[in-house]
Amino acid sequence: MAELQNNVGFSSGKTRFSLFNRSQTINSNSNLTESFQKPYLEPTLDRSGSGTKFYNSMESVKSAGNSLKGKVKKLCSFFESRKDTSKSYDEASLPSPSKLKPSKSIYSDSGLSSSFSNSSGIRLPGTEDRIVIYFTSLRGIRRTYEDCYSVRTIFRGFGVWVDERDISMDSAYRKELQRVLGEKNVTLPQVFIRGKYMGSADVINNLFEVGELAKILEGFPKRKPGFVCESCGDVRFIPCLNCSGSRKIFDEDEGILKRCLECNENGLIRCPDCGS
């Protein structure tokens, strides 16, 4: 009995000796073990609700698009009605093509087509049977050289013979041009046709573009295609035949050197084959 009471007393004092209560420890361990032995359950998503929300959002976007489309249609109909109600032009009120006056050509007012009539009265004597171009072959001024090259190319394209007078090869041509035009400072190139003054590069280019130059050049003799002078190579100058380009000759009577009077300042003379 004493042992039983002791056991009861021991069990009744569980609060004091709870740390030594083996049954309680085992039960707690068993509960922990059961918690680890339970299978892990993944959380489930309520896809039905999310699908419903996504469908509802798409329906709202679709309805918004329909409303926007309706507004656009209203705006289009509004502008179309304004366009229809605006004042329309009657085809009968428009002038017929026969009543329309033709616009004047820019070349008719500029006087390019009538430039051949030589209203300025400037003439180059002794050149009534030829085309004369005063130009320079030097490239000192780029714009001047390009204009000279352009005009020479235009006339060579027609295949007509041209009296080309290069002032850079002979200063006498510059003095001649200044005397004819009556000006000290002249621009290049300058063109004379049948002794009549035509003008500079702008006039020749414009006449060529409108087709008037071809009419003016009718009747001039033409050269063979690809013809090149064998004496000067189309340079129009050759070394002086009297002094061989040295510009000096020996006077046997006086025994001194004198200036050659047959060549220019560069010791050149005009080509006898193509420059005369």
In the structure, what pLDDT confidence band is assigned to residue 79 with cuts at 50, 70 and 90? low
For the whole model, what pTM was predicted?
Answer: 0.58
Look up residue 128 and give its two tokens: 């009534």
Domain range list for the chain: 107-216, 237-270
**Topology classification of domain 107-216:** Glutaredoxin (3.40.30)
Higher-scoring residue by pLDDT: 113, 157: 157
Please report the pLDDT score of residue 225 as a whole number.
84
**Beta-bridge mates of residue 199:** 191
Instruction: Write out pLDDT tens, residues 190-206.
Output: 999 999 999 999 999 99
Instruction: Write out pLDDT tens, residues 104-139.
Output: 333 333 444 444 444 468 999 999 999 999 999 999
